[in-house]
Structure 1
Amino acid sequence: MHRVVFILYPGFELLDMAGPASVFNGANRALGQVGRAPLYQILLASPTGGDTASSSGISVQTARLDELRGQRLGTLLIVGAESGPLQAAMADPDLRGALPGLTAQAERFGSVCSGGMVLAGLGLLDGCRVATHWDACAPFQAHFPGVSVDPEALYVRDGRLWTSAGVTTGIDMALAMVACDLNAGVAAEVAQRLVLYARRPGHQSQFSPLLSAQARGDSPFADLIGWIQANLHAPLDVPALAARAGLTERSFHRKFTAATGQTPAHFVETLRLDAARMLLSRGLSLKQVSAQVGLFPTARFSRLFQRRFGITPGTYGEMHRVEG
């Protein structure tokens, strides 16, 4: 059995634990369906043990950290929290005393969301590249200059160390762990069981252009943006979009730019290139990707991709391919 230990403390973010735990449990379920023994054993631990309350008010039963000493640990993950509970955790003498030894005895260790700051405070991340929630990147880097914080990545693997940007990205990281431990097929089955839209590779940006547009509240173009996302292969120039929105081209350009913060052309290009990265990581050819995202001919797609990301789409696909 591969023991997965989640380290909790009062005020922790429940989804940081529950999301990845559901992935590992889903992998056990998938193994059982084909007559194989479960691989993962999930354990929740905290400095004092007993009931530990999350930020949502839901409490979970935990073991004491000192009970783990000398035990074989597969994966050790400390979860994140808002500033107050996180600062208290960083100062907790029991947590600080236990973590160095526990991370040393684990096959792999890491964090979900801002939990990485607890590890960094003990010098356990010096010289490492890490991911954390976008809102914590600046303070993380300022407090721990010896750590390289990747502000874009959903999750980062650096040797035995795994860190994720937080909340739902803990699910993405756990799926990547399952793919490493078992295979991509099991990870894909778990993702499908959890009704995920897609298995996101770690290199994908935390900043979804579609989500950013939707986050602007009562945007008059919410329906149009959804239609654009579903029809990236189609002609999406200003005349076509203005006609669909029922506006003149000039009025559409002005109102769309005000609503999204981007011109229609730049917004569409961003969506197309974001989708292209996902398709490239799945192993599709440049020609297939170019056609599916509406950036053709292939030479034009390559130019735009390299200008935006500083790397050719072919090289990107080789570096970030995710099977399954």
Structure 2
Amino acid sequence: MSFSPGEPQIRTQRVAFVVYDGVTLLDVSGPLEVLHQANQVAESRTGVRRYETVLVAPSADATGGQVVTGAGLVLAGVRGVAEAGVVDTVVVAGADHLVDGVPGEVLEVTAGLVAEAGRVASVCSGAFVLAALGLLDGRKATTHWRHAGAMARQYPKVEVVPDALHITDGRYVTSAGISAGIDLTLALVEADHGADVARAVARELVVFMQRPGGQSQFSTAMATPPARTEVMRRITDTVVADPAGDHTLPNLAAAAAVSPRHLARLFQNEFRTTPGRWVERVRLDRAQQLLLDGHSITKAARLSGLGSDETLRRAFARHLGATPTEYLRRFRNV
């Protein structure tokens, strides 16, 4: 079936969640609540439920229809693949132990569900299940930032994008860790039923309308590991404290009392990037916050140090895959 953005789908869609012992609770409960709220909105407007959900697990009969989550809470009413029936969307929830190897029974359940599904999604390390089945070969995908490196090493045919909340490539949609499953599911609801329904759901959940899929999983300041040397700590602290400052490579090198070439080597050794790229990301973080605080594009560009409207737009396109206007429209709950 088609999932064109903005095109309403009246037929109730069946969504299957792949669960198993040790599954991350919020990977399941967050998306489930989004779909539940979408049903509440739909029933109040049209009387038609948008989604029907089912939890599917390996050995459901042997476990009495229950799985124990990583948090210790029990998910009940779990079914086997044969009981799930035909589904429109499959969502594979994650768990840390998937990084060390996906159990064969989880692969078997997932393979049985995705064969006929129109759309396949994963939350957090659930992407390892799809990758292990070869479904993400030659495609872009994301996962929790902590596991992105492991995924890239284990599945070199997958183009892992470590700094994104969710990514759609064909019928496959993968998301970052844990709470990003809410963002992913809001995006699915918008694709199915339009922005108005997704916005109403977001309001009920008291979350942002939707963080853009390309938005960073965390700010540059949070993502940057602690500097190992006093020189780098001084430089990074200075830039984060005043992103709009004159942070050219010569000026940063002069402030650190080292040569520009040596400073470039320090950034490469410690952060695997150049001083210029790191400074741009810090400025982009600042520009994002300024826009969300209500400043104009021009003022956000100036106060963040990006300078001009055009420079700000290029930075948004390069790192977030969106224009500033698209970012605001999707990220602010307006």
Taking structure 2 as the reference length, what is the TM-score of the superposition?
Answer: 0.70
CA distance in 1, matches of 2:20, 2:321: 44
1:240-271 CA distance string (max 9 Å, x none): xxxxxxxxxxxxx99xxxxxx99xx9897343
- Choose which of 49, 52, 65 in structure 1 pairs with 2:81: 65
On the 8 A contact 2:138/2:157 being kept in 1, the answer is: yes
Q: How far is 1:161 from its partner?
A: 0.4
- 2:192 partner letter: D
> What root-mean-square deviation, in Å, do the aligned CA atoms of Structure 1 and Structure 2 show?
3.7
Q: Distance in 2 between matches of 1:18 and 1:170?
A: 9
Decide which of 131, 145, 148 is 2:159's aligned counterpart.
Answer: 148
Task: Determine if contact 1:134/1:206 at 8 Å carries over to the other structure.
Answer: yes
Aligned-partner Cα distance in 2 for 1:95–1:237: 50
- Indicate which of 248, 254, 273 corresponds to 2:287: 273
Give per-residue Cα distances to partners, 1:161-207, cap 9 Å, x unaligned: 01001201110010010001101011111111111145201010112
Give distance in 1, aligned partners of 2:208 and 2:54: 28
Name the counterpart of 1:5: 16
Q: For residues 11 and 295 of structure 1, do their structure 2 counterparts lie closer, same or farther at Cα, with a shift above 3 Å needed?
A: same
Equivalent residue for 2:126? 115
CA distance in 2, matches of 1:111, 1:315: 23
Q: Which residue of 2 aligns with 1:31?
A: 42
Post-superposition offset of 1:72: 2.2
Q: 1:319 to 1:274 in 2, by over 3 A?
A: closer
State which drifts further: 131-140 or 121-130.
121-130
Q: Secondary structure at the match of 1:153?
A: coil
Report what 2:103 is aligned to.
Answer: 91
Q: For the residues of structure 1 that align with 2:124 and 2:182, how far apart are their CA atoms?
A: 11
Distance 1:211 1:185, change over 3 A: farther
Deviation digits for residues 75-100 of structure 1, max 9, x if unmatched? 101111113x6546x123x3333322
How far apart are the structure 2 equivalents of 1:276 and 1:128?
Answer: 34
Query: Is contact 1:131–1:163 with CA below 8 Å preserved after alignment?
Result: yes
**2:323 matched to which residue of 1?**
316
Among 168, 187, 192, which residue is 1:181 paired with?
A: 192
The alpha-carbon deviation at position 120 of structure 1 amounts to 1.1
Cα drift, residue 126 of structure 1: 1.0
Q: Secondary structure at the match of 2:79?
A: strand
Structure 2 segments unaligned to the other structure (5+ residues)? 1-11, 227-241, 246-254, 257-270
Aligned to 1:244: none
1:291 corresponds to which residue?
A: 299
AA aligned to 1:27 is A
Matched residue type, 1:273:
A
State how far apart, in whole Å, the 2-side matches of 1:277 and 1:121 are.
40
Which AA in structure 1 matches 2:69? S
CA shift for structure 1 position 122: 1.6
Correspondent of 1:78 among 79, 87, 92: 92
For 2:207, the equivalent position in structure 1 comes to 196
Relative contact order (alpha carbons < 8 A, sep ≥ 6): 1 or 2 greater? 2
Find the partner of 1:302 among 305, 310, 316: 310
Match of 1:21 in 2: 32
Classify the secondary structure of the residue corresponding to 1:106.
Answer: coil
**What is the deviation of 1:104?**
1.8
Against the structure 1 CA distance between its residues 127 and 87, is the aligned structure 2 distance closer, same or farther, given a 3 Å change threshold? same
For the residue of structure 1 that corresponds to 2:115, the secondary structure is helix
AA of the residue aligned to 2:137: D
- For 1:296 and 1:208, the matched residues in 2 are separated by 14
In the alignment, the residues of structure 2 paired with residue 149 and residue 278 of structure 1 have an alpha-carbon distance, to the nearest angstrom, of 28
In the TM superposition, what is the alpha-carbon distance from 1:288 to its structure 2 partner? 3.4
**Residues 290 and 296 in structure 1, CA contact (< 8 A), matched pair in contact too:** no
What corresponds to 2:6 in structure 1?
Answer: none
Q: Distance in 2 between matches of 1:314 and 1:125?
A: 21
Percent pairwise identity: 31
Match for residue 177 of structure 2 among 166, 183, 194 = 166
Scaled by the length of structure 1, what TM-score is found? 0.72
266-275 or 123-132, which deviates more: 266-275
Could you say what secondary structure the match of 1:303 adopts?
helix
Query: How far, CA to CA, are the matches of 1:51 and 1:314 in structure 2?
Result: 41
Instruction: Considering fraction of residues, name the structure with more strand.
Output: 1
